[in-house]
Structure 1
Amino acid sequence: MKRSQMALVLAASTALGACSFTPPEQAAGDFDYAQQQLKDPIEAAPGLEFDAQSQRYQVPEGDFPGALGAQLNIRAPIVVRAVAAGSRVEETEDQVRVYFDELENMDSLAPFVWENVRAGVSQQGIDIVSEQTEQELVTGWVSETALVGEDELEVVNQRRFKVSMDTASHGRTTAVKVEVLESQSQGPGSALYDAEMGQRNAATALLNALIVEVAVAQIDEDILTTRDTSLNVQAGFNQEGFPALVIDGSFATVWALMGQVLPELGFEIDDLNQSTGQYFTTYSEEASGFDWAFWRDRQQGKLPLVDGEYMIRVTGDRTTTTVTLHYNDKPLSADDLTRIFGPFAAEIRKQSGL
């Protein structure tokens, strides 16, 4: 009897679980509101009248096209991520497009961007079937499989993309846009698939991959230009006015360099976040691998810091970067920075010259 009851409970739980499944593109809950009809307006009692009412929140009457209730796709669209240096997205942009601005020491913007756009398309394993250099290219068919609806029905999407580039007459700004040229869907889930959002998301995903390719090329170029020269380091202030190391190098270069410098100075890297420019570290004087022979004696060369947790923030652009040390959620003072400047500057110059 107990086994039968347990089996019944498990069967009921499975059935309820199946019934309560909600596809990720559909809002949870019921949709009774979608069936509501307009009510007759309330009438004032004889001899009375309503106060004047604001029309601010009045819902206009009329038939409005578009999905409603369970048919409304609530999944957020993919957004264009301008992660390359000098890239940006206009606030009022309604196309899948990114702008690149010329950076200091860049010889020619358009050829550089176009070369890496082509490389990005190839990196995704997509064929290029036609091309007008630095203007546009058309891809071959790209397949994608998705599951839609409560029953997770399969839909196979095939698309061809057009990537176009429009460079301003002065040559210092260029825009790259991706759009779906042709598309077709097949499979049992085709009728449920949101083709409009799917096409925009696919175009955005491809554009983001191209932006990443440009960003990687920028980093590679930074490494090549700084490989044979050590970086200049000075004591100064960051943009917020806090004492900081000021380095004549790009953010990408200095960020990677600090991953080598910090362990040599006795900082164990516990975690990091490049998007916010943060290294989370634990400092220990005994763990330092710094070349003390640089100094006349160990006492002169050691870092006058308390052992403990430090957050190192790296901020900058393609030409200048600052490094700020934080202890107990507060930036080090100008006096503290002066005392550690020598070992830090020496190690940064040493590592950048390798």
Structure 2
Amino acid sequence: MKCSRQLVLSSLAVLVLSACSSSPAERRQAKDSFAYLDAKDFHDWTMPKDAQSHYYPNYQIPKGDYQGQVGQNVDIRPPQQILNLVPGARSQVQNGKVTLWVVKKSDADSVWRAINDMVDSGKLPVAKKSHNALETGWVRWTSKDEDSEIDTRYDIERVQANHRYGIQISLVQWRQKESQKEATIPQRQRYTAYMTNLVTTHYDAERRAEERRKAKAMVNNIPVAMGTDRSGLPVIIARAPYDIFWQRVTTLLPTLGFNIKDRNHSQGTVKVRYVGIDDDTLAQHGLKPLDLQTGSYTLLLGDLSNRTSINVTNDKDKPIPEKQMKQIVAAWKALIDKPDSKNSQ
């Protein structure tokens, strides 16, 4: 199966040096002269008669058959960096291959699930696929640094070595202007890094989305119960960290009949006016009206690490009776057990 997708490099934070270049080639090339390519070959040094030579190895040029680009073919762009978006992962780049190493198998499983999600959602074309490996279809890249669009294909597989688990990405085919050719090592490294960053970016987006879903579920379903403070006085205890509970209490109070007048996150105070729970909410959740007089109240929230305490005082800064606090707890529980669209937002 032959597939093609176009991926814009700007989404992968590709840096482009845009000095005064007028063409993609000039963006990849040094601005200085390439006259050194026309330099004459070296010749043996002829020592004057009776002169004594002294040899210093400081600037000796090693002998060997070195392969590499010269002149206008030298790519001056900085190497593409691997984005550190997988917690605890270390990237290894070797011969144009990139391997993301993690210690926990569960972390490798998460990255592999992200890759499969890219395939299932059509973001990554696939030619062949097995349980622990896949071969992509043609992936098209567009960049201002290149003379034309570039198509690449990759092998992506799970690997394991030295009690570590990894995802290895290798570039297997490359073509430009619809003609296949062998990619240079710098090109292999750059475009393998692009694909690796595409995977890690998708993984990071999925992880953040899952964290948001968990946070929303936690905000919408915070258990509350009666407790006591250090002085033995009754307080309401919410089983959620302070910042999480703060988001929930300010959205739920109006449903409980409290209109918010003022709030201060750093001080943990919420000033409200009780006007009573509306009849529709009472009927929908099987509630009874709170035994509170219409008027001003203050909620004082305390940070207990993984829990939050709530003290409720009247307009005279006196704690309300325990009976009334129990009514608030009962109403809260009813709203959690049977949330409506207003409360779940």
Give the structure-1-normalised TM-score. Answer: 0.49
The Cα shift of 1:98 comes to 0.8
Higher deviation after alignment, 19-28 or 73-82:
19-28
Identify the match of residue 52 of structure 2 among 40, 49, 54: 49
1:120–1:209 Cα contact (<8 Å) kept: no
Alignment of 1:70-109 (within 5 A): 70-90=72-92, 95-102=97-104, 108-109=106-107
Aligned partners of 1:110 and 1:167 also within 8 Å: no
Q: Is the 8 A contact 1:80 1:98 kept in 2?
A: no
Contact 1:162/1:179 (8 A) holds in 2 = yes
% identical equivalent positions: 16
Structure 2 SS opposite 1:96: strand
Decide whether aligned partners of structure 1 residues 84 and 57 sit closer, same or farther in structure 2, where only a CA change above 3 A counts: same
Given that 1:161 and 1:179 are in contact with CA atoms closer than 8 Å, whether structure 2 keeps it comes out as: yes
SS in structure 2 opposite 1:118? helix
**Which residue pairs with 1:179 in the alignment?**
170
Task: Please provide the CA RMSD for this pair.
Answer: 4.7
Alignment partner, residue 27 of structure 1? 30
Distance 2:75 2:266 in 1: 60
Residue among 192, 202, 211 paired with 1:213: 202
SS at 2:82 equivalent: coil
2:57 partner amino acid: Q
Cross-structure match for 1:132: 130
Instruction: Tell me the amino acid that sits aligned with residue 24 of structure 1.
Output: R
In the alignment, structure 2 segments of 5+ residues that lack a partner are 1-19, 223-239, 251-261, 271-299, 309-343
- Are 2:112 and 1:114 aligned? yes
- The answer as to whether partners of 1:85 and 1:218 remain within 8 angstroms in 2 is no
From 23, 39, 45, the counterpart of 1:36: 39
Please say if 1:289 is aligned against 2:264.
yes
TM-superposed CA distance for 1:30, in Å, is: 0.4
Q: Give, in angstroms, the shift of residue 209 of structure 1.
A: 1.8
* Distance of 2:162 and 2:180 partners within structure 1: 45
Counterpart Cα distance in 1 of 2:140 and 2:157: 21
How many pairs are equivalent?
A: 228
The aligned runs of 1:161-176 (5 Å cut-off) are 161-167=154-160, 173-176=164-167
Q: Map Cα deviations across residues 124-165 of structure 1 (whole Å, 9 max, x no partner).
A: 7222232212x10122222234567xxx8x534333222111
Matches of 2:165 and 2:159, distance apart in 1: 6
In 1, the alpha carbon distance for the partners of 2:86 and 2:100 equals 10
Match runs of 1:51-66 below 5 Å:
52-61=54-63, 64-66=66-68
Kindly state the Cα deviation for residue 87 of structure 1 after the two structures are TM-superposed: 1.2
Larger Rg: 2
**In the alignment, what sits opposite 1:141?**
138
Once the two structures are TM-superposed, the CA of residue 68 in structure 1 deviates from its matched residue by 1.0
Given the alignment of the two structures, is residue 159 of structure 1 paired with residue 134 of structure 2, yes or no? no
- Looking at structure 2, the residues matched to 87 and 155 of structure 1 have their Cα atoms a distance apart, in angstroms, of 33
CA contact (8 A) 1:98 1:175 kept: yes
Counterpart among 191, 212, 228 of residue 218 in structure 2: 228
Q: Is the 8 A contact 1:82 1:98 kept in 2?
A: no
**Residues 55, 157 of structure 1: alpha-carbon distance in 2 compared, 3 angstrom cutoff:** same
8 Å contact from structure 2 (residues 95, 185) kept in 1: no
Distance in 2, matches of 1:129 and 1:191, equals 18
Q: Do the aligned residues in 2 keep the contact of 1:145 with 1:155 (CA within 8 Å)?
A: yes
The aligned residue for residue 330 of structure 2 is: none
